[in-house]
């Protein structure tokens, strides 16, 4: 046991927090960073200028608390999402993780449970631990898919208070059909289960892919979570949001910290939403690079999953740890998600994607035994 862990265990830490590790991906100084699904294109100049002007204006009032209800931001987010949503349907916080945490604070807690379907977003069990909510591990098919019938059956059997449905799923990048959401919601009627559809990467989905936003009407236990970290290239600003029935946003007001969204955060998000056309153009370019990665990995004899996100999950590796390390040695950082035979790579700019594909091809050419 290292000294830091020993000192931590001397504190009166809650029992359910002992022995777990905090969330964290490697933060290394390498030329090409393709490991945490950031928007690799950055913020366009005109959007940066608009954000700078908005933040400068907001700074004149920093001696006052911000709008506690972030009224303008909620209306702008509702306008962006469409589907007949109004400001009363919208909630936002410091990243979608905080939104999810607030949902668990309101509807989870001691004696309650949340169901996830691993492999999925690794923050879900950590959010459960942080709110003292029991985390139930559902089961996927061997190909990591999740059918409506199987998901609904598990909800009926386990009767969780909350369900996480990640679509597109992280780390596999595959989307869920709306039939999964519909049947899971119906299966949770008796247990009054809150159903969260985490659509953090929805803007990267293939054209015509429907959103669970279309299912919100008449379903007061359904929540659709989104983020501005990915498509809007605002990972550093920490803005996440959700859409749901107005009574859900009322529930989150009971647990949010006072004035939790700073005036600077609100100004940044509003400016970005005003200039979303430029940001969405970059999303289209990222989708091109993502599809290129899928095509090239297939050509290399690997097994990429179909992706509706800004990353590609791929298998066909006999020793993913060695491939990951050799890519790092070549200046390319991708993600080892701990799933045997698989790695995950974020779709970069055209030069970044080219560098990744070239480095991987060279590694496999020199050591074909690294393929499974």
- Coil, helix or strand for 317? strand
Q: Is residue 15 part of a domain?
A: no
- Pair (199, 290) in one structural domain: no
Question: Looking at residue 1, what is its pLDDT?
Answer: 53
d(CA 321, CA 30): 18
Alpha helices in the chain (DSSP H): 3-9, 45-59, 71-81, 96-107, 123-130, 148-158, 178-187, 246-253, 263-274, 276-299, 320-329, 350-366
360: in domain: yes
- One domain for residues 139 and 182: yes
Same domain, 202 and 287: no
| Displacement of CA 64 from its chain's centroid (Å) | 32
* Same domain assignment for residues 217 and 241: yes
Cβ neighbours, 10 Å, residue 1: 7
Residue 11 is assigned to a structural domain of this protein: no
- Distances in whole angstroms, Cα of residue 303 to Cα of each of 194, 286, 316: 35, 20, 5
In a domain? residue 9? no
Q: How far is CA 81 from CA 90, 165, 214, in A?
A: 10, 19, 10
Q: Of the residues 221, 255, 274, which one is the last residue of a structural domain?
A: 274
What does the longest C-alpha to C-alpha distance in the chain come to?
A: 63
Angle at 240 between CA 31 and CA 22, to 5 degrees: 60
In a domain, 163, yes or no: yes
Query: Which tokens hold the place of 284?
Result: 């289209």
Q: Are residues 174 and 190 in the same domain?
A: yes
Same domain, 232 and 330: no
In a domain, 193, yes or no: yes
Answer yes or no: do 218 and 203 share one domain. yes
CATH number where 32 lies: 3.90.1150.10
The alpha carbon of residue 319 and the mean position of all alpha carbons in its chain are separated, in whole angstroms, by 27
Domain boundary among 247, 274, 301: 274
According to DSSP, residue 238 is labeled: -
Range of the domain at 359: 24-43+278-370
Same domain, 298 and 347: yes
Structure tokens at 302: 């690997």
Q: Which of 211, 243, 274 is the last residue of a domain?
A: 274
My answer on whether 241 and 305 are in the same domain is no
Could you identify the residue written with the tokens 């066909």? 316
Residue 241 is assigned to a structural domain of this protein:
yes
User: Is residue 77 in a domain?
Assistant: yes
CATH code (residue 147): 3.40.640.10
Angle at which helices 148-158 and 178-187 cross, to 10°? 20
Are 321 and 26 in contact by the 8 Å Cβ rule? The answer is no
Number of folded domains in the chain?
Answer: 2
Determine the pLDDT at residue 134: 97
Q: Does 251 share its domain with 148?
A: yes
In this structure, are 58 and 198 located in the same domain? yes
Which segments of 148-247 are extended strands (E)? 162-166, 194-198, 222-227, 240-244
Same domain, 38 and 56: no
Per-10-residue mean pLDDT, the chain, length 372: 80 86 78 95 95 98 98 98 98 98 98 98 96 97 96 98 98 96 98 98 95 98 98 97 98 97 98 96 96 97 96 97 97 95 97 98 96 92
């Amino acid at each position: 046991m290292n000294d830091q862990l020993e000192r931590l265990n001397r504190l009166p830490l809650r029992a359910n927090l002992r022995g777990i590790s905090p969330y964290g991906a490697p933060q290394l100084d390498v030329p090409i960073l393709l490991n945490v699904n950031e928007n690799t294109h950055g913020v366009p100049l005109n959007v940066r200028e608009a954000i700078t002007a908005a933040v400068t204006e907001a700074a004149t009032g920093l001696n006052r608390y911000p709008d506690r209800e972030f009224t303008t931001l909620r209306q702008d987010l509702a306008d962006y999402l469409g589907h007949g949503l109004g400001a009363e349907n919208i909630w936002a916080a410091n990243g979608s993780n905080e939104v999810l945490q607030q949902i668990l604070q309101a509807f989870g807690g001691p004696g309650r449970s949340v169901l996830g379907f691993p492999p999925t977003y690794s923050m879900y069990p950590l959010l459960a631990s942080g709110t003292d909510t029991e985390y139930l591990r559902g089961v996927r098919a061997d190909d990591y898919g999740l059918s409506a019938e199987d998901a609904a059956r598990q909800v009926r059997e386990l009767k969780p208070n909350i369900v996480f449905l990640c679509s597109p799923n992280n780390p596999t990048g595959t989307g869920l059909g709306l039939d999964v959401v519909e049947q899971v919601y119906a299966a949770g009627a008796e247990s009054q289960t809150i159903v969260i559809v985490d659509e953090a990467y929805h803007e990267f989905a293939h054209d015509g892919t429907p959103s669970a936003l279309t299912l919100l009407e008449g379903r007061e236990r359904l929540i659709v979570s989104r983020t501005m970290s990915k498509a809007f290239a605002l990972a550093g600003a920490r803005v996440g949001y959700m859409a749901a029935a107005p009574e859900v946003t009322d529930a989150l007001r009971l647990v949010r910290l006072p004035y939790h969204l700073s005036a600077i955060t609100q100004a940044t998000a509003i400016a970005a939403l005003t200039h979303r056309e430029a940001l969405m153009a970059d999303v289209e370019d990222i989708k091109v690079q993502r599809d290129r990665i899928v095509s090239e990995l297939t050509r290399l004899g690997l097994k990429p999953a179909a992706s509706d996100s800004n990353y590609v999950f791929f298998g066909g590796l006999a020793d993913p740890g060695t491939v990951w390390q050799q890519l790092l040695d070549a200046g390319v950082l991708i993600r080892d998600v701990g799933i045997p035979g698989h790695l995950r790579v974020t779709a970069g700019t055209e030069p970044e994607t080219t560098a990744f594909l070239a480095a991987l091809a060279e590694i496999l050419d020199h050591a074909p035994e690294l393929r499974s």
